[in-house]
Structure 1
Amino acid sequence: MAQHRRQNVKTVRRIAGTTAIAAVATLAGPAAANAAEVVVPNTDYSFNVEGLENVPNIDQIPNVDQYVPSLSAQETTSTTNYSAEAPAQPATSSTGQQVVDAVYSKIGSPYGWGAAGPSTFDCSGLTSWAYAQAGKEIPRTSQAQASGGTPVAISDLQPGDIVAYYGGASHVGIYVGNGTIVDSLNSGSTVSERPLDYMPIHSAVRF
């Protein structure tokens, strides 16, 4: 007998909860021409409530489709329509990444004093050429580049930033990420990748 009474209590609770949802929905929602069927799970009880499907955010109630089966079909249709909207747009390269791609393409090119490409470079000739490939014009000399951009802390470097070296900013290279730069160092060398701290750092800038 005790077990039978517990089952009845559960059924009554389900009926009461469903009835309360339906009652609130009837008060809050606008009337509609078509009524939605409300069922009590695991029982033979069901009844119709006009305007239930029009109640704002009713589909957000946990497991509401167990009580109002018609909402399950609406939710599936809504999700399908939403996923079909607005295809993803392809990502575009940032200026910094374009600069990095350009300078990487010149690794192995020989050093030439006063040269700014496209086959030989001095240090600032390489940096200005790489920025030009990204559609951005920057000052030509290392000192002008070091003073012309926006100062950046070494800890905040991003690929494409220019790093100046030595006391008078007499040398520059392009930061390419992972603690390395690409530069055209001196006569007899080629454009190469080397550690960021290979030389005494003067400053860093971003254009």
Structure 2
Amino acid sequence: MADPGTLGLITKATITALSDERLRKGIGWTIVAILSPFILIIVVIVSLLSGTTNHNNNALDLSFNGGSISSKMPEEYRGHIGDMRSSFTVLDSKIEDKNSQMEDGDSLDSIRVKAIFYSLYFGESHPSKIDQGKYVNCFVNYEERKRAVINEEGNEYEETYEVAIPITNLSEIYKNIENKMGIEVPYESMANANEIYYRIKYGTPAPNEGDNFIEWEDWTQGLTPEELEDLYNDLPNSDKGSKIVQLAMSRLGDPYSQEKRGQGRFTDCSYLTLWIYRQIGINIPATAAEQARFCINKRITVSKKDLVAGDLVFWSHKPNGRFMNITHVGIYAGGGKVIDASYSKGKVVYRDLFDSNKQVLYARPHILK
């Protein structure tokens, strides 16, 4: 379906043509007569799309921020908003309970908790009857700790107690929701939840995929011939991972561009991995986020401690509405190094495996063939 904004521009331009006498004479009344029915259809479509979008936006705002629900809003939406508000009241209470079990200033991101709930349950019958305690538990882990306490007799002894710790990894949260709530969380719901989160918390749409960040640390602009030779010699012989790293090295210094990727030597992070794997006969999707989803669906993910040369490393630096909020991908080169197409440096670089707290997934597509 065409984008409402695009249709709106078309409609505005066409209506202007109909209302401008000189333009009407220029294009001829015959053409205008032919186009008029289609113009009216476009106007109706734009109106319907705009109305639906407004209802959705209003429902989101009213659910999170309160306010009077207009009698002009369809009864269906009014009912869903009321149910969601009731659910949020219960969720707030459960979130507060969990926060009271935390230490070191930790707390749950209540907007994240409610954004995911909204994405999963808005429009469902009586979502307020869902076990919110079980749902909120999907966002925390528990850890046993010890502390010294004094009993009534004044004797000190060591006590074991449990502390709740917020989970920040969205992949783990969604896995918990599927296991504990007994539902499937499709990619579309994850993307929708991220969009809701960003709009409510920051008042802006979630940014699109890209590795456009101010600084990358521990990068190497280039390698001397001697360093390059050492790297080749350190790679295992007759191994697909070795071949992948050698292909990645062949692109070192190539210019970065999302718009021109695939043209000449231009590449971005996901095109680099796409191109490399294509050279060894393995096809993976075209974006970092979709490559990650592909790897999960194919059950070819690995742990960080098991990384070998040629594996993929995925980063999530900020909410972006894509699968697992993936924003970047690179090729693990072994020895704690990675080769990736860097936006900030404008080229393909070889550097330390950076931002360990932002690495969210590791995978090995080269076992597929």
Normalised by the size of structure 2, how large is the TM-score?
Answer: 0.30
Secondary structure (helix, strand or coil) at the match of 1:163 reads strand
Paired position in structure 1 for 2:277: 131
CA, structure 1 residues 179+187, in 2 after alignment: closer, same or farther (shift >3 Å)? closer
- Deviation, 1:197, is 2.5
> Cα deviation per residue 1:37-74 (whole Å; 9 max; x = unaligned)?
xxxxxxxxxxxxxxxxxxxxxxxxxxxxxxxxxxxxxx
Cα distance in structure 1, aligned partners of 2:316 and 2:364: 18
Counterpart-to-counterpart distance in 2, 1:148 and 1:189:
27
Quote the residue 2:314 is aligned against.
Answer: 164
Q: Which residue of 2 aligns with 1:190?
A: 347
* Bigger relative contact order, structure 1 or 2 (CA pairs below 8 A, ≥6 apart): 1
Distance 2:277 2:264 in 1: 13
For 2:241, give the aligned amino acid.
G
1:99 CA displacement: 1.0
**4+ aligned runs moved over 4 Å, structure 1:** none
Q: Work out the CA distance in 2 between the residues paired with 1:190 and 1:132.
A: 20
Partner of 1:148: 294
Distance 2:294 2:278 in 1: 16
Would you say the 8 A contact 1:102–1:130 is kept in 2?
A: yes
In the alignment, is residue 116 of structure 1 matched against residue 262 of structure 2? yes
Contact 1:108 1:190 in 2 (8 A): yes
Alignment RMSD, CA only? 1.9
Q: Aligned partners of 1:117, 1:203: CA distance in 2, in Å?
A: 29
- Tell me how far 1:187 sits from its aligned partner: 5.3
1:100 corresponds to which residue?
Answer: 245
Distance, in Å, in 1 between the alignment partners of 2:308 and 2:254 is 24
Using the alignment, how far apart are the partners of 1:188 and 1:196 within structure 2?
16
- The residue type equivalent to 2:347 in the other structure is T
State whether structure 2 residue 361 is matched by structure 1 residue 173: no
Question: Identity percentage over the alignment?
Answer: 34
Task: Give the match's secondary structure for 1:151.
Answer: coil
Q: Are the aligned partners of 1:117 and 1:125 in contact in 2 as well (CA < 8 Å)?
A: no
Shift of 1:92: 6.7
Counterpart residue identity of residue 252, structure 2: I
- Where does residue 364 of structure 2 map in the other structure? 206
CA distance in 1, matches of 2:286, 2:304: 22
Q: Distance in 1 between matches of 2:337 and 2:355?
A: 9
**Counterpart contact for 1:100–1:174, Cα < 8 Å:** yes
Shift of 1:203: 0.8
TM-score by length of 1: 0.52
Write 1 or 2 for the structure with the bigger share of helix: 2
Unmatched tracts of structure 1, length 5 or more: 1-90
- Contact 1:112–1:187 (CA under 8 A) maintained in structure 2: no
Unaligned runs of 5+ in 2: 1-235, 318-324
C-alpha deviation, 1:198, in angstroms = 3.8
Deviation at 1:184, TM superposition (A): 0.4
Cα distance change of structure 1 residues 154 and 185 upon mapping to structure 2, 3 Å threshold: same
SS for the counterpart of 2:338 is strand
Aligned CA distance change for structure 1 residues 99 and 118 (closer, same or farther; 3 Å): farther
Corresponding residue of 1:69: none
Q: Look up the match of 1:49.
A: none
Q: Does the Cα contact within 8 Å between 1:113 and 1:187 map onto a contact in 2?
A: no
